[in-house]
Amino acid sequence: MPRKYSVSAAPAHLTMLDLFAGAGGLSEGLREAGFHSLYANELVPTYAKTFGVNHPDTIVDSNDIRDVDAALVRKRLGLARGELALMAGGPPCQGFSINAPKRSTDDRRNHLFREYLRFVEEFEPRAVLIENVPGLVSFEGGATLEAILASLRALGYAADVQILYAPLFGVPQTRWRTIILGLRDGGNPLEAFPEPIHSAPMRVNFTSRFAGRNIVAMPRSLELPSHTTVQDALGDLPVLGNGETGEYLKKYRTAPQNDYQRVLRAGSEGVSNHEAARLGKINVERLRHIPPGGNWTDIPFDLLPAGMKQARRSDHTKRYGRVHPDGLASTILTKCDPHWGAYFHYDQDRAFTVREAARIQSFPDTYVFTGSRVDQYEQVGNAVPPLLAAAVGRSVSKALGVNVDELTRAV
C-alpha cells in the first residue's frame, strides 16, 4: 500500500500546485523536499488515478486545463493571492522535443505553457517551476523559451533556466531536464537551482547555450562521490524469469545493500509492479548472445531483425542493449522495448519490469502504479525522477527562506 501523507507532514507555508502532473513524479520529489501539493491537474485518467492513490491528500482534477477556471480553484483551496509557495508543472514536451518528428508552432501542445501562466497570474505564488525537455532550448531558435521567461518577468518574477543531468543528483540513468525557476519576491533565481552532489559520465547532444551562455549545470568539485549504478538501484529486487508474474507483493531478494536501496525501501513491506513481460522466443535467443554492456552488434547476423541486418555497426548502439551493472541506464522511456534501447536486465534474461524502471527513475517502492502494464510503463517513463525533483525542491525552499533538510531524504 502507498504511504499515507497528511497535510501536516509539510510546513503550512510550503504549499504547491502541480499542473500537467502525470503520475506524480514531480510532486513526489517536491513532497520529499517538504512541499505539499494541494491540487494537481492531469488530463489522462490512468495517470490521475495513480497520482491520487499515492497522494491522497491532494485534490486531483482530470479535466482539460483549458476548461478549468483558476479563480474557482483558488477559491476552493481558500488561498489568497500570494499565499501559495510554489506553482509547479511540466507542459507536454513532445512538441518541444529534439526527437519529435515535427517541431512546429502549429502543434497546439506547444502553447499549453500559457495555461500554466494563467494559473500563475491568478495565484501569484512566491516561486514557479516549469520542467521540460532539453529541446525546449533550441525550439524556434530559443524564441519559445525566451517567451516563457519574458512572460514570467511580466508577471513580476525574476526567472532563469538551467539544464540538469539526473545522475548528478543520484538518479541512475542518462536523463536531462530543462528547469525554469522564477522568484516573485526578489532574489537571484540562479541561486534557487541545486548544486550537483555526484559525478557522472555525460555527453551533451543537444543545444546547451542560451542567451550567450552554457546553461548545463556542472559539478563544482572533482571530488564528488560517483554516480548511482544500475546494480546499486536493482540489486536487491527479486529474481524473475522471462514472463514470470507471481504474487503482486514480492519479498526482497536481499537486505538493503546501499543507501539508494535503503532510501527507496523506506516504509515498504515488499515489491509491487514487479512482473516480467514475456519476450518472444527469438528475442530470448538474441538476448543470450548479449553480454552486460553489449547491444545488437553482439547478436549473430542470422538472428538479427531484417531491418537491423542493413544497419551499420556504429548505428543504433542502444538497441537490444543489456545494461552494464556498473553503469548508468539509458533514459527510461514509455515502454521498455528492446528495439527502443538498452532495456535488458544485466544478469537476467528479460526486459526491465515496471518496478525496475521505477527504481531507475528513483520512485520509492511504496509508490504504486495503477492501470495495465502498458499504462504503468508510460506513467514511469513520462515522469520527472523524484530524486531530481527533490533536489530542486530543497534549493527552492531555501530560496524561499525555509530549511527543510530534516524533512527530506539524502542520497
Q: Please count the other Cβ atoms lying within 10 Å of the Cβ belonging to residue 76.
A: 13
Strand locations in 13-116, DSSP E? 15-19, 36-41, 59-61, 86-89
Which residues neighbour 6 within 8 Å (Cβ) at sequence distance 6 or greater? 57
Name the phi and psi angles at 51, rounded to 5: -60, -50
The C-alpha cell that represents 335 in the structure block: 515502454
Place of cell 526486459: 351
Q: Please count the other Cβ atoms lying within 10 Å of the Cβ belonging to residue 406.
A: 6
d(CA 271, CA 234): 11
Torsion-angle region of 267 (φ positive above 0: left; ψ -120 to 50: alpha; else: beta): left
Indicate the Cα dihedral angle 259, 326, 295, 338, nearest 10°. Answer: 0
- Give the angle subtended at the CA of 364 by the CAs of 360 and 367, to the nearest 5°: 110
With both helix axes pointing from N to C terminus, report the angle between 70-77 and 113-123 in degrees, rounded to the nearest 10.
50
Torsion-angle region of 174 (φ positive above 0: left; ψ -120 to 50: alpha; else: beta): beta
DSSP 14-42: -EEEEES-TTSHHHHHHHHTT-EEEEEE-
Place of cell 528495439: 339
Question: Which of 14, 23, 65, 93 is flagged as catalytic?
Answer: 93
Q: Is 93 a catalytic residue?
A: yes
Whole-number Cα distances in Å, 25 to 193, 295, 364: 18, 30, 10
CB hemisphere CA count around 151 (13 angstroms): 19
The C-alpha cell that represents 155 in the structure block: 508577471
Q: Please count the other Cβ atoms lying within 10 Å of the Cβ belonging to residue 305.
A: 16
Name the phi and psi angles at 92, rounded to 5: -45, 130
Tell me the catalytic residues.
Answer: 93
